[in-house]
């Protein structure tokens, strides 16, 4: 009887080990969503670009952090995959010593569709992926534009080149455009 119990025990243990091996081999390893971001002070403001490999590029131009801001400016950008590697969230805050403040977040769960929030309001990126954010005058005003950002790279020189060539962005940032 002891030999039968031992044989059943060994068979059960072998089955459990086989189940663990099979399940481990079948489970897909999560892959992080490729993205890149850059920020630069350009003219009278700050420009942030976030680009996903298989999704959109989103550009935020604000009037905080430029040459004319005499008060201390605080800017922060954080990236996280806190929920899962398939969820990517980029968020930032810009604030000036005179009380002006602007918050933003961009979040995706698939790397292709992105939810955009600017100062707590959600924007449909189908209506444009370039945002001009004006904070001077006591309230935040957001203008959403449709522009081709495909050639803009997440690097300060590329952001400066785009701002210098686009008349609307150049005017907003107080720089001459080509």
Average pLDDT estimate for 122-132: 96
pTM for the full predicted model: 0.75
Does 20 score more than 50 pLDDT? Answer: no
Q: What torsion do the CA atoms of 39, 41, 45, 49 make, to the nearest 10 degrees?
A: -20
Instruction: Evaluate if residue 19 carries a pLDDT over 70.
Output: no
Q: What angle do CA 141, 147, 149 make, to 5 degrees?
A: 115
| CA dist., res. 4 & res. 12, Å (int) | 12
In whole angstroms, give the CA distance from residue 87 to residue 109. Answer: 4
Q: What is the pLDDT of residues 145-154, one digit of tens each?
A: 999 999 999 9
Task: Say if CB 44 and CB 174 are below 8 A apart.
Answer: yes
The span from the CA of 175 to the CA of 178, in Å, is: 10
Sheet holding 141-145, edge to edge: 35-42, 45-52, 57-62, 130-134, 141-145
**Residue 29 has what pLDDT?**
46
Label residue 94 exposed, middle or buried (CB < 10 Å: 0-12, 13-18, 19+). buried
CA angle 11/15/18 to nearest 5° reads 140
- Check residue 69 and give its pLDDT: 60
Higher pLDDT, 142 or 101: 142
Beta bridge partners, 60, equal: 48, 131
Q: What is the mean pLDDT of residues 157-177?
A: 93
Of 92, 94, 114, the residue nearest 105 (C-alpha) = 92
Query: pLDDT tens, 27-77?
Result: 444 445 567 888 889 998 999 999 888 788 999 999 988 766 665 555 565
**What percent of the chain clears pLDDT 90, i.e. is strictly above it?**
42
**Tokens representing residue 8 in the block:** 């059943």
What are the pLDDT digits (tens) for 66-125? 766 665 555 565 666 555 666 788 888 888 888 888 899 998 888 788 999 999 999 999
């Amino acid at each position: 009887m002891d030999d039968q119990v031992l044989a059943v025990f060994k068979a059960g243990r072998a089955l459990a080990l086989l189940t663990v091996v099979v399940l481990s081999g079948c489970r897909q390893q999560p892959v992080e969503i490729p993205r890149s971001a850059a920020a630069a002070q350009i003219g009278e403001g700050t420009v942030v670009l976030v680009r996903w490999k298989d999704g959109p590029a989103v550009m935020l131009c604000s009037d905080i952090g430029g040459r004319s801001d005499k008060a201390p400016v605080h800017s922060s950008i954080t990236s996280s995959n806190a929920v899962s590697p398939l969820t990517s969230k980029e968020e930032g805050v810009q604030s000036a010593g005179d009380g002006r403040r602007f918050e933003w977040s961009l979040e995706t769960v698939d790397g292709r569709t992105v939810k955009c929030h600017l100062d707590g309001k959600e924007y449909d990126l189908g209506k444009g992926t370039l945002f001009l954010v004006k904070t001077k005058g006591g309230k935040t005003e957001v203008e959403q534009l449709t522009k081709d950002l495909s050639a803009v790279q997440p690097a300060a020189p590329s952001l400066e080149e785009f701002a210098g060539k686009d008349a609307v962005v150049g005017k907003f940032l107080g720089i001459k455009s080509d």
